[in-house]
């Protein structure tokens, strides 16, 4: 059977696509505390995260995982090395620039929930939008939509003291996602929850990751978190292992 020869003339050669930088990148990051005695919390950390990751930094108490998460979130600054977000160096920004960066690009979930006790659930979620100077007409609908995504719409008008621990942490998740951040950083988010509530919360966050592409980075030693994470980054004595 006759086969047509391949056309070797006028072949279009596609230009290579530009390589997209990691969403977050740490280069040779160290952290040293000087409180009378020198304490090396982190040493020569090279680490990067891409968009859509569901990753956990794992280690025992004192391993440096929370310090590492705080530096990724620019809550703390490195003693040495640099932190980049989408290729832009953020570790040396001024305080006002850092505050604006955190407010626009990051969401935080803390072990202790950190809700404002005198505000209702929806007001706690809405507060992020107030800080962003979002239009007043948009704030309440967006806060209610975020509460709906975490299954707490019916609890919108309750203050934190009238909510269970699991419900308070869901409010914290809604607050973290309401402004559409690219990354959510969660420091031991299941530490104060029973196993059933913790699993429910993790399933919720995994759903947000899969359906909406939200990047999650945890610090945890909870095996429930580590089993669900798609990537586990062990840390011990301030060094990646």
Tell me if 132 sits within 8 A of 104, measured CB to CB: yes
pLDDT of res. 192: 86
In angstroms, rounded to a whole number, what is the distance separating the alpha carbons of residues 112 and 84?
Answer: 28
H, E, C per residue of the chain: CCCCCCCCCCCCCCCCCCCCCCCEEEEEEEEEEEECEEEEEEEEEEEEECCCCEEEEECCCCCCHHHHHHHHCCCCCCCEEEEEECCEECCCCCHHHHHHHHHHHEEEECCCCCCCCCCCHHHHHHHHHHHCCCCHHHHHHHHHHHHHHCCCHHHCCCCHHHCCHHHHHHHHHHHHHCCCCCEEEEECCCCCCCHHHHHHHHHHHHHHHHHHCCEEEEEECCHHHHHHCCEEEEEECCEEC
pTM for the model: 0.86
pLDDT digits (tens, 9 = 90+) for 52-97: 999 999 999 899 999 999 999 999 999 999 999 999 999 888 999 9
According to DSSP, the β-strands at 239-240 and 215-220 are unpaired
Q: Specify burial of residue 160 (Cβ count, 10 A radius: 0-12, 13-18, 19+).
A: buried
Q: What is the largest CA-CA distance in the chain?
A: 86
Q: Is the pLDDT of residue 2 over 50?
A: no
Tell me if 215 sits within 8 A of 56, measured CB to CB: no
pLDDT of res. 91: 86
Residue ranges of domains in the chain, CATH in brackets = 53-62+94-233 (3.40.50.300)
Residue 189: which region, alpha, beta or left (left: phi > 0; alpha: psi -120 to 50)?
Answer: alpha
Distances (CA, A) of 32 to 39, 237, 239: 6, 12, 13
C-alpha gyration radius of the chain: 21
pLDDT of res. 13: 53
- Structure tokens belonging to residue 206: 């995994």
pLDDT digits (tens, 9 = 90+) for 158-209: 999 999 999 999 999 999 999 999 999 999 999 888 999 999 999 999 999 9
Q: Give me the residues paired with residue 63 across strands.
A: none
């Amino acid at each position: 059977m006759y086969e047509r020869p391949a056309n070797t003339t006028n072949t279009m050669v596609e230009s290579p696509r530009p390589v997209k930088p990691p969403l977050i990148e740490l280069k040779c990051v160290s952290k040293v505390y000087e409180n009378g005695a020198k304490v090396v919390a982190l040493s020569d950390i090279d680490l990067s995260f891409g968009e859509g990751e569901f990753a956990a930094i794992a280690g025992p108490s004192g391993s440096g995982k929370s310090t590492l998460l705080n530096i990724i979130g620019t809550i703390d600054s490195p003693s040495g090395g640099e932190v980049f977000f989408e290729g832009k160096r953020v570790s040396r920004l001024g305080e006002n620039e850092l505050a604006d960066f955190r407010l626009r690009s990051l969401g935080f979930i803390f072990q202790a929930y950190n809700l404002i006790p005198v505000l209702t659930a929806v007001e706690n979620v809405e507060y992020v939008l107030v800080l962003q100077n979002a239009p007043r007409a948009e704030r309440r609908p967006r806060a209610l939509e975020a509460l709906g995504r975490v299954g707490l719409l019916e609890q919108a008008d309750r203050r934190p003291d009238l909510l269970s621990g699991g419900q308070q942490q869901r409010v914290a998740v809604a607050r973290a996602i309401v402004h559409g951040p690219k990354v959510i950083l969660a420091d031991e988010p299941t530490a104060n929850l029973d196993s059933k509530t913790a699993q429910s919360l993790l399933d919720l966050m995994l759903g947000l990751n899969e359906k909406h592409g939200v990047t999650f980075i945890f610090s945890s030693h909870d095996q429930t978190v580590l089993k669900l994470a798609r990537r586990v980054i062990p840390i011990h004595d301030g060094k990646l292992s």
